[in-house]
Structure 1
């Protein structure tokens, strides 16, 4: 059996919300954690809590992404997406939690990928 770890570290469900403050108690309870990382990216305010990524103020483009996938090596993703007939829509570029990109897979799904770095909790 191959002992090499997967390039995929975690898959975050993207949840558009009207208010992070109002929504957070439910997602903390569902994730069974109060360890929350709140940050902004452009006009969007985000809260990363367990397997959830809450998005406040997200436009239609941000809402259309199927998931945010945390990876060890973003370059592996770039090669895989392009080799499979997909397109890079945004990035690779620096983001608040590591290098990121948005890709359209050959099947039409749009996914955000973020290269894992140790998050700063707030």
Structure 2
């Protein structure tokens, strides 16, 4: 599967989109997508494989579905949630000023750029912004 998403550019977001992480065993992504579509009465709006990490991902409404075996998902289970933001640089600066610890610095990911931070209260959050990728055909309507 190639990268597919309804809106590949989060730069115009006025508020973060919060994703609750749900971990799915290998082969279970299609069923999980169906469940979360029915539960929230919405359609999947992002789906892609991340072969470098041994994962497949999808977003459905408020959920980020992460498919992989126990070994490949272990590093991601300590993260409490994901925020889709307009620009990770702004959040990186704010978090550092507020005393958060950047546990994984900004890195290119299949959807744009992301990083992970531990907030002063111990909450671990992934921050990511989406940008159109060269292989995506994108026309914002």
Q: 1:66-105 alignment to 2 at 5 Å?
A: 66-105=80-119
Report runs of 4+ in structure 1 exceeding 4 Å deviation: none
Asked if 2 retains the 8 angstrom alpha-carbon contact of 1:8 and 1:69, the reply is no
Matched, 1:54 2:78: no
Q: CA deviation at 1:108?
A: 1.2
Q: 1:1-122 alignment to 2 at 5 Å?
A: 8-18=15-25, 19-41=28-50, 42-57=53-68, 58-117=72-131
Evaluate the alpha carbon distance shift between residue 7 and residue 94 of structure 1 in structure 2; reply closer, same or farther with a 3 A threshold.
Answer: farther
- What is the TM-score normalised by the length of structure 2? 0.72
Unpaired runs of 5+ in structure 2?
1-11, 137-141
Unpaired runs of 5+ in structure 1?
none
What is the aligned-residue RMSD (CA, Å)? Answer: 2.3
- What is the TM-score normalised by the length of structure 1? 0.82
Q: Count matched residues.
A: 117
Q: CA deviation at 1:13?
A: 0.9
Distance (Å, rounded) in 2 between the aligned partners of 1:94 and 1:34? 26
Q: Secondary structure at the match of 1:33?
A: coil
Q: For structure 1, which segment, 33-42 or 16-25, has the greater mean C-alpha deviation from structure 2 after superposition?
A: 33-42
